[in-house]
Chains A and B, each alone.
Chain A
Amino acid sequence: MIEVQDLDVRFGAVHAVRGVSFAIAAGESFGLVGESGSGKSTVLRALAGLIPGWTGAMSLQGRALGPKRDRTFFRSVQMVFQDPYGSLHPRQTVDRILAEPLAIHGLDGAEARIRRALEEVSLSPIVRFRYPHQLSGGQRQRVAIARALIADPSVLLLDEPTSALDVSVQAEVLNLLADLRAARQLTCILVSHNLAVVAHLCERLAVMQQGKVVEALDVAALRAGQAQHPHTRDLIALSRDLDG
């Protein structure tokens, strides 16, 4: 479904991503784990077409992706951002935010689609005409998820979707994402610094450090303690340490 080969991204003198490769099958959920500055979000943004000037090869369903993406790409690939306070337009109501992708792709039945989208993420119809600043962090992230899914994409890119949320809200959003993924057979890439979150939502993961993938393994192996690379082991130890 998605293939990334030797992806390299530079921002001026900073070599943010160095030769990252991975492949994801349809319906699979793949995690990218690393600390800040490891390049994990940059990989996701390059894949989403939000960063110009990368080198390497990326393809979606066998079709190579160029530096500019067309509308059909954005129809099938959508993204949920980390900060629900920054990813919703501060001067647009939820209704307007959800209507925008429908207008761009020329989809009809906007009224019914918006209602259904809100229902799907368990938001009450009351929030439809509210502004983002009138919603809680969890509600905003639900709106962002509804926006990502409203034009029925097949791939969902998740950039730290729960790290700005309280743990109790994180649990709700993770459950929601798991449900939606199962219901719509989405292919997901989840970027997170939190190993436990990635392990909860993904089958396979890659650990990144300083722009490189240092280890790729499946979650069962991770849980069984079969990680080899010292950085992966460090992250596991820290995560376990706090699990008590």
Chain B
Amino acid sequence: MTNPLVEINDLRVDFPGPNGFVPAVRGVSLTMGREKLGIVGESGSGKSVTGRALMRLLPPQARVAGSLRFDGIDIAAATPRAMRALRGARIGLVLQDPKFSLNPIMTAGAQIAEAWATHRRGSAKEARDAAMSLLDQVLIRDPRRVYDAYPHELSGGMGQRVMIAMMLAPQPDLLIADEPTSALDATVQAEILRLIDRLVTDRGMGLMLISHDLPLVSRFCDRVAVMYAGRIVEEIAARDLHAATHPYTRGLLDCMPRLDAPRARLPVLARDPRWLA
């Protein structure tokens, strides 16, 4: 492996607030290859901002510093044109709610075919066939029906499959999934994550799974980076998670109610100001 797929060095992102700039990401460095990396944190920890900075999808008033490299390409210096070629074609993004990320007035199939045609050359027929085959690959039993369905006619899980099919159309090297299953029921959630897992493994892609759900992420990723207040406080192999050392990681694991044993009180996470240092 010559270049790591993603190389982030001392990333800092600030957003303008009423009283000056507010830091959202405060010096994040991480490197990932074609592996499955989970980024976990609570709301406001900067996990989504990190993912979006990598695709340069932050609002223009955000101040970004530090270096971001994707397969050796400097994201900060890339031209808008190069960036467009990168987004979609080499990095795919799956967002939380397919209701908002799919175009409500285009059929699911047409959207996938368009995603395919934007980055490849081919006839309308080829695009259609490719879309059908992609729907098949995301384990949709009746691709023909879903192809002609509008997003509001699809369930949440089905919509998310369409979204994934769209992102896989140009065969990207990296898939960023930002809370891909938070809007879904537990039973569907597991199916979708297993699907993402299988597709990423089969195609040898990198996966950046951004989520608030530590147990979930650790089940589907090789490595987990835990973020708190704009920093990575702990990076750990997923299978060693039970041996996590940082009190924040431990706190996150401990404070959940459990089904196997009753607990009188849930341990409450005491936020140590030293974690911010």
The complex places the Cα of A242 from the Cα of B267 at a distance, in Å, of: 19
A167/B186 in contact, CB under 8 A: no
* Chief secondary structure at chain B's binding surface: loop
Asked if B185 is at the interface (CB within 8 A of a chain A CB), the reply is: yes
B265/A238 in contact, CB under 8 A: no
A178 / chain B contacts, CB cutoff of 8 Å: 265
A200 / chain B contacts, CB cutoff of 8 Å: 257, 262-263, 266
The complex places the Cα of A197 from the Cα of B268 at a distance, in Å, of: 15
Asked if A196 is at the interface (CB within 8 A of a chain B CB), the reply is: yes
A193 / chain B contacts, CB cutoff of 8 Å: 185-186
With A168-B42, A172-B268 already in contact, the answer to whether A199 and B187 are too (CB < 8 A) is: no
> A179: nearest residue on chain B (CB-CB)?
B265
Asked if B202 is at the interface (CB within 8 A of a chain A CB), the reply is: no
Instruction: Give the number of chain A interface residues (Cβ < 8 Å).
Output: 33
A199/B257 in contact, CB under 8 A: yes
A-B contact pairs, 26 of them (CB 8 A): A36-B156, A36-B185, A166-B212, A167-B213, A167-B255, A168-B42, A168-B251, A168-B255, A168-B268, A169-B42, A170-B256, A175-B265, A175-B266, A178-B265, A193-B186, A194-B257, A196-B259, A200-B257, A223-B260, A236-B259, A238-B186, A238-B187, A238-B190, A239-B186, A240-B260, A241-B219
* Chief secondary structure at chain A's binding surface: helix
Known A-B contacts: A178-B265, A236-B259, A244-B241. Give 11 more (CB < 8 A).
A167-B256, A169-B42, A171-B255, A175-B266, A193-B186, A196-B258, A199-B262, A242-B213, A243-B256, A243-B259, A244-B219
Tally inter-chain residue pairs, CB-CB below 8 A.
88
| Cβ < 8 Å to B, chain A residues 191-208 | 193-197, 199-200
Most buried by B among A167, A193, A197, A238: A167
- Taking the nearest CB of chain B, how far is it from the CB of A79, in angstroms? 21
B42 / chain A contacts, CB cutoff of 8 Å: 166-169
With A166-B42, A244-B218 already in contact, the answer to whether A174 and B259 are too (CB < 8 A) is: no
A171/B260 in contact, CB under 8 A: no
B262/A223 in contact, CB under 8 A: yes
The complex places the Cα of A199 from the Cα of B256 at a distance, in Å, of: 12
- Taking the nearest CB of chain B, how far is it from the CB of A22, in angstroms? 21
Instruction: Give the number of chain B interface residues (Cβ < 8 Å).
Output: 32
A180 / chain B contacts, CB cutoff of 8 Å: none
Asked if B269 is at the interface (CB within 8 A of a chain A CB), the reply is: yes
- Taking the nearest CB of chain B, how far is it from the CB of A26, in angstroms? 22
B218/A167 in contact, CB under 8 A: no
> A163: nearest residue on chain B (CB-CB)?
B182
Q: Which of A166, A222, A243 contacts B258 (CB 8 A)?
A: A243
| Cβ < 8 Å to B, chain A residues 119-143 | 137
A positions within 8 Å CB-CB of B: 35-36, 137, 166-172, 174-175, 178, 193-197, 199-200, 219, 222-223, 234-236, 238-244
A236 / chain B contacts, CB cutoff of 8 Å: 259
B256 / chain A contacts, CB cutoff of 8 Å: 167, 170-171, 196, 243
Per-position contact with A for B219-243: 1 when CB-CB < 8 Å, else 0?
A: 1000000000000000000000110
Asked if B216 is at the interface (CB within 8 A of a chain A CB), the reply is: yes
> A234: nearest residue on chain B (CB-CB)?
B187
Q: Which of B213, B219, B255, B259 contacts A223 (CB 8 A)?
A: B259
With A199-B259, A242-B219, A243-B258 already in contact, the answer to whether A168 and B187 are too (CB < 8 A) is: no
Closest 5 CB pairs of A and B: A200-B257, A171-B255, A166-B42, A171-B266, A35-B185
- Taking the nearest CB of chain A, how far is it from the CB of B155, in angstroms? 9
B216 / chain A contacts, CB cutoff of 8 Å: 242
B242/A168 in contact, CB under 8 A: no
- Taking the nearest CB of chain A, how far is it from the CB of B14, in angstroms? 20
The complex places the Cα of A240 from the Cα of B258 at a distance, in Å, of: 8
Q: Which of B156, B186, B257, B265 contacts A235 (CB 8 A)?
A: B186
B262 / chain A contacts, CB cutoff of 8 Å: 199-200, 219, 223
A166/B43 in contact, CB under 8 A: yes
> A240: nearest residue on chain B (CB-CB)?
B259
The complex places the Cα of A50 from the Cα of B262 at a distance, in Å, of: 33
The complex places the Cα of A35 from the Cα of B212 at a distance, in Å, of: 20
The complex places the Cα of A168 from the Cα of B40 at a distance, in Å, of: 13
Most buried by A among B214, B215, B242, B257: B257
